[in-house]
Chains A and B, each alone.
Chain A
Amino acid sequence: MFGERTDRIIGILSDSFFPILKAGLQFTIPLTLITFALGLILAFFTAVARLSAFKPLVLLTRFYVWIFRGTPLLVQLFIIFYGLPSVGITLNPFPAAVIVFTLNKGAYSSEIIRAAILSIPKGQWEAAYSIGMTKAQALRRVILPQAIRVSLPPLGNSFISLVKDTSLAATITVTELFQKGQQIAAVTYEPLWLYIEVAFIYLIFSTILSYLQDKLEIRYGRGIAK
């Protein structure tokens, strides 16, 4: 009796492992990588814009960060995917997820980058100015390389939390990892074991990403005493 049950679970798990992994590789990982890359670029320009001397730009970026940090990701997803069609803008699930995650990550990461830029001692700016650099040159050649180093650990953490956050894309019908697991759980009536399997696959992904994060931190750790 017990053996039969176990066999059945093992059968379900081994049959479902690759479909779920495939959903992860097809949607979860691309969604994570694309939105992280786009989000970083957005964050970078947002952070620099917020530190600029041009008031309208500063206000605009502050407004953007305020909106996306102050509202739930889930609500943002629903507005873009289920809300926008009522004003004639209909997006496919995946692009909708990319847009929302990018805007959301961009807002959070811009705060990380901004804090990192502000953490670089004033003397570094002054040394850069003293050798004739403009503000843009000082930022690019002296401040940002150091700020990137400072922001890598928190950015890496937010990257790893992004892998997990992408499971929310299931709510707007993206058949990513979690959605796939849900589907299989629904037909096999083994939610406990399937969701454990889903968790396990997320764990594999985030472990690999943590490893990459460590590598990057070492690469950008030039010039710091260990």
Chain B
Amino acid sequence: MDAGLLNKRGSSMINIQNLYKRFDKLEVLKGIDLSIEKGKTAVIIGPSGSGKTTLLRCLNLLEIPDQGTIALGKQTLKITESTKLKQAEIVAFRKQTGMVFQGYNLFPHLTALENVMEGQITVLRRSKEAAREKAMSLLEKVGLKDRAEMYPFQLSGGQQQRVGIARAMAMDPEVLLFDEPTSALDPELVGEVLKVMKDLSREGMTMVVVTHEMKFASEAADQVIFMDGGVVVEKGTPNEVINETKNPRTLQFLNKVAER
């Protein structure tokens, strides 16, 4: 890993070049190029199986790409077929990101508060008091201060997902990654999660969001990226991609989403 190589092109927070990822014979990402500026929100849309999740997971190295360059925050990873990353390198890179999962993945043996404190104590070595204070203020921010002592199974899906967002935020990441954060939710609970995400976006958090919520994309995104078959088919402002696209693949996808 070229740890010393800083990526300072403009104010880009994430810069992905020529990213490839395959699972055995299945080529999932086929040369992705993307750039996301600091403080901006990028929304990734595209049909199921197009590689959106894999792309997000490559950004925090839950999947190790086969090839390509990822510049994120202060670090740049140049990966080739022969690259063998050490755990310490992976963790250092990953620590710059936070992730919000489709299935929340809260720690079931910990309360909401403890979920948000855990990483601060174990990973960042913050004191219990400092971690608690930060966790409480984040829970307040996501509207769950009065649910702090509850266990995940006692919370609704929307509440769990908001705890998930607070847990990710507690680590002070440079970038927040969202993988279909509202897809598992009952329709009436989607709004409360999207609202928290919009607030974060407005406050200047750098976010990469995979979602099918077109309204959220229109309102909160600075950039919309349409992926299909492992490539970026089209990217631009929400208006360009959602309203004014001439691309037949994009149009076909948008029609399908609108029908649901």
Contacts of A124 in B (CB 8 A): 105, 107
Are B109 and A149 touching (Cβ within 8 A)? yes
Provide the bound-state CA to CA distance between A146 and B109, in Å: 7
Interface string of A196-217 (1 = CB under 8 A from B): 0000000000000000000000
Contacts of B108 in A (CB 8 A): 146, 223-224
Provide the bound-state CA to CA distance between A131 and B101, in Å: 12
Provide the bound-state CA to CA distance between A121 and B109, in Å: 13
Known: A133-B123, A141-B118. A127 touches B107 (CB 8 A): yes
Q: Which residues between 71 and 130 of chain A lie within 8 Å of chain B, taking CB atoms?
A: 121, 123-124, 126-130
Q: Give the residue name and chain of the A residue nearest to B120 (CB).
A: A131
- Most-contacted residue by chain B among A132, A149, A222 (CB, 10 A): A132
Are B94 and A130 touching (Cβ within 8 A)? yes
Contacts of B101 in A (CB 8 A): 123, 126-127, 130
Contacts of A222 in B (CB 8 A): 109, 151
Is A137 interfacial (CB-CB < 8 Å)?
yes
Contacts of B252 in A (CB 8 A): none
Are A131 and B119 touching (Cβ within 8 A)? yes
Contacts of B122 in A (CB 8 A): 133, 137, 141
Provide the bound-state CA to CA distance between A222 and B101, in Å: 23
Is A154 interfacial (CB-CB < 8 Å)?
no
Is B91 interfacial (CB-CB < 8 Å)?
yes
Distance between B138 CB and nearest chain A CB, rounded to angstroms: 13
Q: Which of B94, B105, B152, B153 contacts A132 (CB 8 A)?
A: B94
Are A127 and B105 touching (Cβ within 8 A)? yes
Is B171 interfacial (CB-CB < 8 Å)?
yes
Distance between A175 CB and nearest chain B CB, rounded to angstroms: 44
Distance between B118 CB and nearest chain A CB, rounded to angstroms: 6
Provide the bound-state CA to CA distance between A151 and B184, in Å: 29
Q: Give the residue name and chain of the A residue nearest to B62 (CB).
A: A126
Provide the bound-state CA to CA distance between A107 and B157, in Å: 40
How many residues on the A side are at the interface (Cβ–Cβ under 8 A)? Answer: 23
Contacts of A131 in B (CB 8 A): 98, 118-119, 123, 167-168, 170-171
Is A225 interfacial (CB-CB < 8 Å)?
yes
Distance between A222 CB and nearest chain B CB, rounded to angstroms: 6
Contacts of B60 in A (CB 8 A): 129-130
Interface string of B152-188 (1 = CB under 8 A from A): 1100000000000001101100000000000000000
Contacts of A133 in B (CB 8 A): 91, 119, 122-123
Contacts of B91 in A (CB 8 A): 132-134
Interface string of B188-221 (1 = CB under 8 A from A): 0000000000000000000000000000000000
Distance between B45 CB and nearest chain A CB, rounded to angstroms: 22
Q: Give the residue name and chain of the A residue nearest to B97 (CB).
A: A130
Q: Give the residue name and chain of the B residue nearest to A130 (CB).
A: B99
Is A38 interfacial (CB-CB < 8 Å)?
no
Distance between B1 CB and nearest chain A CB, rounded to angstroms: 17
Are B62 and A130 touching (Cβ within 8 A)? yes
Q: Give the residue name and chain of the A residue nearest to B153 (CB).
A: A225
Q: Which residues between 143 and 157 of chain A lie within 8 Å of chain B, taking CB atoms?
A: 145-146, 149
Is B106 interfacial (CB-CB < 8 Å)?
yes
Is B87 interfacial (CB-CB < 8 Å)?
yes
Provide the bound-state CA to CA distance between A126 and B99, in Å: 9
Distance between A121 CB and nearest chain B CB, rounded to angstroms: 8
Are A135 and B153 touching (Cβ within 8 A)? no
Contacts of A172 in B (CB 8 A): none
Provide the bound-state CA to CA distance between A149 and B110, in Å: 13
Known: A130-B60, A131-B98. A224 touches B118 (CB 8 A): no
The 8 A-B residue pairs with the shortest CB-CB distance in the complex, in nearest-first order: A131-B119, A127-B105, A130-B99, A123-B105, A132-B95, A223-B151, A132-B123, A223-B109
- Measuring CB to CB, which residues of chain A are less than 8 angstroms from any residue of chain B? 121, 123-124, 126-135, 137, 141-142, 145-146, 149, 222-225
28 pairs of residues in contact across A and B, judged by CB atoms under 8 Å: A121-B105, A123-B101, A123-B105, A126-B99, A127-B101, A127-B107, A127-B167, A128-B107, A129-B60, A129-B62, A130-B62, A131-B119, A131-B167, A131-B168, A132-B91, A134-B87, A141-B118, A142-B118, A145-B109, A146-B108, A223-B108, A223-B109, A223-B110, A223-B111, A223-B152, A223-B153, A224-B108, A224-B153
Given contacts A126-B99, A131-B98, 8 further A-B contacts (CB under 8 A): A127-B107, A129-B60, A130-B62, A131-B119, A131-B170, A134-B87, A142-B107, A225-B153
